[in-house]
Amino acid sequence: MKRPLLLIFAILLADQLLKIWIKTNMYLGQEFEIAPWFIIHFTENNGMAFGMEFGGNYGKLFLSVFRILFVSGLGYYLWKLTKEKASSYYITVIALVFAGAVGNIIDSVFYGMLFSSSDFGTIATLFPPEGGYASILHGKVVDMFYFPLLSGTFPEWLPIWGGEHFLFFRPVFNIADASITGGVIVWILFQKKIYPEENKTSTEELENPADNSVVENN
């Protein structure tokens, strides 16, 4: 259990330290360019992925509670996997997703109480005397990584989007989001390591089709 715990702790520490620095040193919408394809751009996500929202304050409350319940179940599942000595690759997948989910939950649950409001031209304060910008469970998730890797114009002959400008990659994200994405990527790339028994069974069936036919006939 030590390795997944260290991984989770490292991700959460990096995620929160960067978010706190962004909140207390940049105003909303401010950005600076590290490279043409790598920009630090401060924005806040008030709802679901990619800034989507639903249901106003009640929707935000529901989303925060749902995230907490989901992460609680995921944490129990991770503990169970370590006790059962599951594949280290699979444990890493769940640990990455767990760390990313917790990182964003911290923002949603606590940031509204800990910070003053970030605005265009106004930098937030940590532990403001007048109190935070929102109540518990109503905080906004801090995002900052922006990778405009490729931009251009769709050809005129293309249906629907012909002649329109496109940009890849448009979404702004954070370390917690990257951790979740990394977990999914590890899961996709290491299927054979994560599910060795299933792959072994499939291989044996392919190598011995005659044996399977005899069993079926009997």
Give the residue numbers marked as catalytic.
Answer: 143, 177
Contacts of 147 (CB under 8 A, 6+ apart): 37, 38, 39, 169
Q: How far is CA 29 from the centre of its chain?
A: 21
Q: What is the DSSP string of 129-158?
A: TT--SS-TT---EEEEEE---EEEE--TTS
Helix/strand/coil for 107: helix
168 forms beta bridges with: 150
d(CA 101, CA 40): 21
Which residue from 65, 19, 10 is spatially nearest to 44, judged by alpha carbons?
19
d(CA 25, CA 33): 15
Which residue from 104, 109, 79, 96 is spatially nearest to 9, judged by alpha carbons?
96
Q: Are 138 and 61 in contact (CB under 8 A)?
A: yes
